[in-house]
């Protein structure tokens, strides 16, 4: 196990994408766990999916914030916004979760990925770099102690070897989204080497949970079934996904935030971890459990004709057949690995859905 070297109590933390699914859960948990933490969130409230869900997540943050959280509504692609936040707030820990997410959307909307994931991340790196400038180093401020950023399991692309390990080569992205996430890791490495910014990239595996993202399968399927539409099961159901419950992702991020990496064999303070459930589930089994939990939560009636609402279709461009995380490194370094089983997690999602949509 590694020895943690950042105490988050009393720290100033910047979370980008704070109104997002993972970001809002992270902010809420940080506020609950650390009495004297101060958090600034940045989010451009992108309308890629229902902004109402983002506003609702922000309300939940407000319930626990007691003045320790402020949201800046702006884009990380806007250099002025980022510079202003870094100049005035002087964050000690930065967690970059803002991004244009989604694999399929990147096929028709590449610009959004370049803007948020490339230019936006570059702005964050530049701001971290300049946080060490003499003019900012007053009142004991040492600059950014740790930059943690979201990468993705999609960087494994068309790799055949499973489970996916951080030791594997990741040079075969199959979507622009994946390419931007891999680029983030490369950018971070270069900046860590050049300017000694301690950085850790986290490759998340299919994150799900209450108030999640409507563009993801579990949520989209639910919407369609409720409307009486047919759901499309890709690759005729021959897909496996390492579904990871959002609370596990948040626990993983908070663990990692507290340990800025030591120099690796190349003298660079840089690290990357997988955070995944380490137990992939077949898409058809996943749909089965989802159906049962939707009935149990009262989202769908017990006599719902699921067979009439399913269609098995071929693979979509940009998709991969299997995602499966090797989490050995995370376990060894932090004594932690995701453990929430799919039924428990989907049950919580179904009950949230019932409460939110009635
Ligand atoms: N959810 C998953 O399964 C998953 C898997 C792998 C990686 N990730 C990554 O984790 C991060 C968080 O994902 P999420 O599922 O919470 O997605 P999300 O879309 O719910 O959250 C991202 C947030 O960032 C904001 N945003 C987008 N572009 C921005 C910009 N230019 N400036 C400021 N804010 C911006 C959006 O409004 C959104 O609220 C993303 O980087 C995503 O790529 C997610």
Which of the listed residues 19, 24, 75, 99 should we mutate to test ligand 1's pocket, taking the one with most ligand atoms within 8 A of CB? 99
pLDDT of residue 95: 99
The candidate with the shortest Cα–Cα distance to 16, out of 139, 147, 171, is 147
Task: State the CATH number of the domain containing residue 85.
Answer: 3.40.50.720
* Percent of the chain predicted with pLDDT > 90: 94
DSSP string, 50-106: -HHHHHHHHHHHHHHHTT-EEEEES-TT-HHHHHHHHHHH--SEEEE------STHH
Query: Containing domain of residue 27, as a range?
Result: 12-208+244-278+323-340
Look at residue 287 and tell me if it is in a domain: no
Which tokens belong to 186?
Answer: 């490369």
Atom index in ligand 1 nearest the CA of residue 116 equals 31
pLDDT of residue 223: 98
Look at residue 1 and tell me if it is in a domain: no
Look at residue 308 and tell me if it is in a domain: no
Report, as an integer, the average pLDDT of 326-348: 97
Look at residue 315 and tell me if it is in a domain: no
Look at residue 6 and tell me if it is in a domain: no
Look at residue 190 and tell me if it is in a domain: yes
Could you tell me if 213 and 52 are in contact, meaning their C-beta atoms sit under 8 angstroms apart? no
Using one digit for the tens of pLDDT, what is the confidence trace for 185-231?
Answer: 999 999 999 999 999 999 999 999 999 999 999 999 999 999 999 99
Report, as an integer, the average pLDDT of 329-335: 98
Atom index in ligand 1 nearest the CA of residue 54 equals 39
Total count of domains within the chain: 1
Q: Which residues line ligand 1 (CB under 6 A)?
A: 16-17, 19-23, 42-46, 54, 75-77, 97-101, 116, 120, 150, 152-153, 204, 206-207, 213
Look at residue 349 and tell me if it is in a domain: no
Look at residue 196 and tell me if it is in a domain: yes
Query: Residue 318 pLDDT > 80, yes or no?
Result: no
pLDDT bin (cut points 50, 70, 90) of residue 319 is confident
Separation CA 283–CA 287 (nearest Å): 6
Using one digit for the tens of pLDDT, what is the confidence trace for 152-170?
Answer: 999 999 899 999 999 999 9
């Amino acid at each position: 196990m590694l020895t943690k070297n950042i105490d988050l109590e009393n720290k100033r933390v910047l979370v980008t994408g704070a109104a997002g699914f993972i970001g809002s859960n992270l902010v809420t948990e940080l506020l609950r766990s650390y009495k004297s933490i101060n958090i600034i969130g940045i989010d451009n409230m992108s309308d890629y999916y229902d902004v109402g869900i983002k506003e609702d997540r922000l309300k939940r943050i407000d319930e626990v914030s007691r003045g320790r959280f402020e949201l800046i509504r702006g884009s990380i692609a806007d250099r002025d916004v980022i510079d202003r936040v870094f100049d005035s707030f002087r964050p000690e820990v930065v967690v970059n979760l803002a991004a244009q997410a989604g694999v399929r959307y990147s096929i028709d909307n590449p610009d959004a990925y370049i803007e948020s994931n490339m230019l936006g991340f570059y702005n964050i790196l530049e701001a971290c770099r300049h946080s060490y400038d003499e003019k900012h180093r007053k009142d004991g401020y040492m600059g950014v102690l740790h930059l943690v950023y979201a990468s993705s399991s999609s960087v494994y692309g068309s790799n055949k070897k499973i489970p996916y390990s951080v030791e594997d080569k990741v040079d075969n992205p199959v979507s622009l989204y994946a390419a931007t996430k891999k680029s983030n890791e490369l950018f971070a490495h270069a900046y860590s080497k050049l300017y000694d910014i301690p950085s850790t990239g986290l490759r998340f595996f299919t994150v799900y949970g209450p108030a999640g993202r409507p563009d993801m399968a579990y949520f989209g399927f639910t919407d369609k079934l409720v409307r009486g539409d047919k759901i499309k099961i890709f690759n005729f159901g021959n897909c496996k996904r390492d579904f990871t419950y959002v609370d596990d992702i948040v626990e993983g991020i908070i663990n990692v935030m507290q340990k800025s990496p030591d120099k690796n064999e190349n003298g660079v303070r840089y690290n990357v971890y997988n955070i995944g459930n380490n137990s992939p589930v077949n898409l058809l089994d996943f749909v089965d459990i989802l159906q049962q939990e939707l009935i149990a939560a009262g989202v769908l009636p017990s006599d719902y004709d699921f067979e009439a609402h399913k269609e098995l279709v071929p693979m979509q461009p940009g998709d991969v057949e299997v995602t499966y995380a090797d989490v050995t490194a995370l376990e060894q370094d932090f004594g932690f690995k995701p453990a929430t089983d799919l039924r428990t997690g989907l049950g919580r999602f179904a009950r949230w859905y019932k409460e939110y949509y009635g």
